[in-house]
């Protein structure tokens, strides 16, 4: 009996050690976040073991775990009709709000889920519930795109999938089928989905053949650049769940089918050192010492290496491609973008990507709403139902949908 108690105490202590991580007191529901983070880390470790055993690629294994526990069928309710179909060969899940006599034409939203271009799905519960809520509360048709993921495909295939599905939806006959007002269509996405939404938004304004234009873009904690992994938010949140800096850098490398040997060098900005000519001209586009307010920069210092690893950008030139990193786009491109909403979270390595993009858009004359949450963390907006319901998740979702309601 005594030995059992000792063993139990040891197991509890071990579990507490594994789960506990020091978090700022300003973070929403910190203990619940620790549990969520521990669950995700456990799934990552299982997938890495599967990879080491040669049974599957670690990202395929990890996504199998995520989708297996969260997949939801296309289930309609009295308020929202949900169907799985394809738009020009790209799988989509369509959410249609109930018809209203006073509004014969609905708003349209193209939504792109996050997951580091490698994980999650339009068909898991988190995104299904988000898009259903949007369709109901906005009286909208929401098209959630099931774009293909790493490692089955790599950049720029994800962008191509989103472009194809969105262009299909924007066709007059398709909008008529779904009773969508062609003047009230927006594009949106979170995290890597926000990256894809921003990239598609930039591409569409340069497409003279596109008749129906996007009225708004709404970017939720978007990832927008791979030039500097030492912005103040990357430095402040380098070990913050659920997206530590090294994980974000690995997502970039995976997206471009790059070499993991480069990750540590990229973390200290050796890929964009002063001897990397390709990076020099782009540095002004994200000079965070001028783009970020003093309340954000605090005492953080830029990390600019004099000499680095020039091989990285030679082998992965996409790191500095504006199609992959929309924050690097020229001002001439930015000034034509539609009204924009950007949601950022204090406890997120990507915070400054969003704030800098908002500043650059504002300087280009674009109407921008920057919605910042001091207690938010990366990914929080999709965590709104038990057991992963966070107060900041509910508040961010409500604020996001409210903006769409007022501007779309």
CA-based end-to-end distance of the chain: 65
Peptide bond into 101 cis (omega under 30): no
Peptide bond into 55 cis (omega under 30): no
Place of tokens 């005594």: 2
Are residues 217 and 404 in contact, defined by beta-carbon separation less than 8 angstroms? no
Tokens representing residue 231 in the block: 């912005």
Outline where DSSP puts E strands in 42-139: 80-87, 90-97, 106-112
Residue 306 C-alpha from the chain's centroid = 31
Are residues 162 and 112 in contact, defined by beta-carbon separation less than 8 angstroms? yes
Tell me the β-bridge partners of 60: none
- CA angle 162/165/170 to nearest 5° reads 115
Active site residues: 191, 348, 378
Max Cα–Cα distance, the chain, nearest Å? 77
DSSP state of 287: -
Are residues 351 and 376 in contact, defined by beta-carbon separation less than 8 angstroms? no
Tokens representing residue 373 in the block: 């949450």
Question: For residue 298, what are the contacts with CB-CB under 8 A and spacing of at least 6?
Answer: 232
Is the four-CA dihedral 381, 382, 384, 388 of positive or negative sign?
Answer: negative
């Amino acid at each position: 009996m005594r030995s059992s108690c000792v063993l139990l105490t040891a197991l509890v202590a071990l579990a507490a050690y594994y789960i506990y991580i020091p978090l700022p007191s300003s973070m929403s529901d910190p203990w619940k976040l620790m549990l969520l983070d521990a669950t995700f880390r456990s799934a990552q470790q299982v997938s890495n073991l599967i990879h080491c055993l040669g049974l599957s690629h670690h990202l395929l294994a990890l996504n199998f775990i995520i989708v297996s526990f969260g997949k939801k069928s296309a289930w309609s309710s009295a308020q929202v009709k949900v169907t799985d179909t394809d738009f020009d060969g790209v799988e989509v899940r369509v959410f249609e709000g109930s018809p209203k006599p006073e509004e014969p034409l609905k708003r349209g939203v193209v939504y792109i889920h996050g997951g580091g271009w490698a994980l999650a799905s339009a068909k898991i519960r988190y995104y299904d519930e988000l898009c259903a809520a949007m369709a109901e509360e906005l009286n909208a048709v929401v098209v959630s795109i099931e774009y293909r993921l790493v490692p089955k495909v790599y950049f720029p295939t994800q962008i191509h999938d989103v472009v194809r599905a969105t262009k299909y939806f924007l066709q007059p006959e398709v909008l008529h089928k779904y009773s969508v007002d062609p003047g009230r269509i927006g594009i949106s996405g979170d995290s890597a989905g926000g990256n894809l939404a921003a990239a598609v938004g930039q591409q569409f304004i340069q497409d003279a053949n596109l008749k129906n234009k996007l009225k708004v873009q709404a970017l939720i904690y978007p990832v927008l650049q791979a030039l500097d992994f030492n912005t103040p938010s990357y430095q402040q949140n380098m070990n913050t769940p659920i997206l530590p800096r090294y994980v974000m850098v690995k997502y970039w490398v995976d997206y471009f089918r790059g070499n993991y040997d480069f990750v540590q060098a990229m973390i200290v900005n050796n890929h964009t050192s002063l001897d990397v000519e390709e990076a020099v001209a782009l540095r002004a586009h994200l000079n965070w010492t001028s783009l970020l307010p003093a309340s954000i920069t605090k005492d953080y210092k830029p990390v600019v290496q004099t000499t680095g690893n020039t091989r990285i950008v030679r082998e992965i030139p996409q790191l500095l491609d504006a199609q992959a990193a929309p924050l690097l786009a020229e001002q001439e491109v930015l000034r034509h973008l539609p009204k924009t909403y950007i949601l950022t979270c204090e406890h997120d390595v990507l915070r400054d990507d969003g704030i800098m993009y908002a500043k650059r858009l504002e300087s280009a004359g674009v109407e921008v709403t920057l919605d910042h949450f001091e207690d938010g963390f990366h990914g929080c907006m999709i965590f709104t139902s038990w057991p992963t319901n966070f107060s900041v998740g509910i508040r961010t979702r409500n604020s996001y949908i409210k903006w769409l309601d007022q501007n779309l």
